[in-house]
Amino acid sequence: MSAPPVFFVGDTVLAGDDVTMQRLDNAIAAALEKGIATFAPSPKSQQPGAVAQAGQVAVPSELIRRFESFGVGAIAIAGLIDGVNPCAFTTIVFFLSMLAYLKKTRREMLLVGAGFTAGMFVAYLLLGVGLLITVKSFSVSHGLSAALAWTVATFAFILAAWSIVDAVRYVRSRDTKQVTLGLPRKVRDRIHKVIRTGLTTRGLVIGSISVGFVVSILESLCTGQVYLPTIVFMTRAPGMQTAAVGYLLLYNVMFIVPLLGILAMTYFGVRSETLGNMLRKRLALAKFGMAGLFAALGVLVVVTI
């Protein structure tokens, strides 16, 4: 048999047969008049298998565990797909082509690649922490928090539709210029300039770290399209808020996995032209994959509202 309903209003507790509309109205009016905040019961005072925080509805702990487990997978997949985002992939290909043009040895390529990866990881992680703090600042108001969630979810659905349009256009034309969702031309040129300048400095490793850092910030105009919905999801999902920084680390580790794989392929002799052709052949597939990711993130954010 279900437990009777229990209402906490100000310093008043109504349970079972005491719960009537009249008594609820009176309790609410009294709490408002006295300016008393409503008591939030601790987890120990609730039914077994339920967890609650101030201002939140109790949620069964088993549901939280399942949602958190699913959330971990969603964040890992989002980071991995973001790492093969065409925006990120084309930047990596240009970076590798510059290494080949400058006739770097395999040892130098390994050092430069490690520095570039470290710079990207640190910059993207710091960017994520900044976004996390910004998103959490909206949680002071339920209305602001819900508005942000709806805005981000709508943005994700728009990007999903846009990615599908890009994929269809490319399948029909086989022309990469038909792909419109990506980095603006000026930002792309700026990234190329940063790479060319940074890789020709004397301090090869330091230069590669700074290049990776700056490129990651500039590239976030495109890759951040995945990052922001993921962060909004992790700050709203039950049981994930307290470990948000850990999930950010997971996301960023997965984000650099494709980069490490590409660097390993280059180290063992795969040319940047081959990688570029690989991207062009699978561009439509990548776009459809991005569309699916955007749609999934949009749905996950909506579910948490």
pLDDT digits (tens, 9 = 90+) for 139-180: 766 777 788 888 888 888 998 898 898 888 888 887 777 777
Asked whether 78 and 230 are in contact (CB, 8 A), the reply is yes
Give the DSSP H or E segment for 59.
strand 59-60
- Angle, helix 61-83 to helix 204-236, in steps of 10 degrees: 150
Q: Residue 36: which pLDDT band, with cuts at 50, 70 and 90?
A: low
Taking alpha carbons only, the member of 103, 105, 92, 98 closest to residue 275 is 92
Is residue 45 predicted with pLDDT exceeding 70?
Answer: no
Q: Return the pLDDT at 32.
A: 76
Taking alpha carbons only, the member of 285, 251, 245, 299 closest to residue 77 is 251
Taking alpha carbons only, the member of 53, 49, 55, 19 closest to residue 37 is 55
Q: Return the pLDDT at 40.
A: 57
Q: Residue 71: which pLDDT band, with cuts at 50, 70 and 90?
A: low
- Highest-confidence range of 19-28, 130-139, 177-186, by mean pLDDT? 130-139
Strand partners, 12: 9
Q: Which residue has the higher pLDDT, 208 or 178?
A: 208
- Mean pLDDT within 287-298: 84
- Mean pLDDT within 183-207: 75
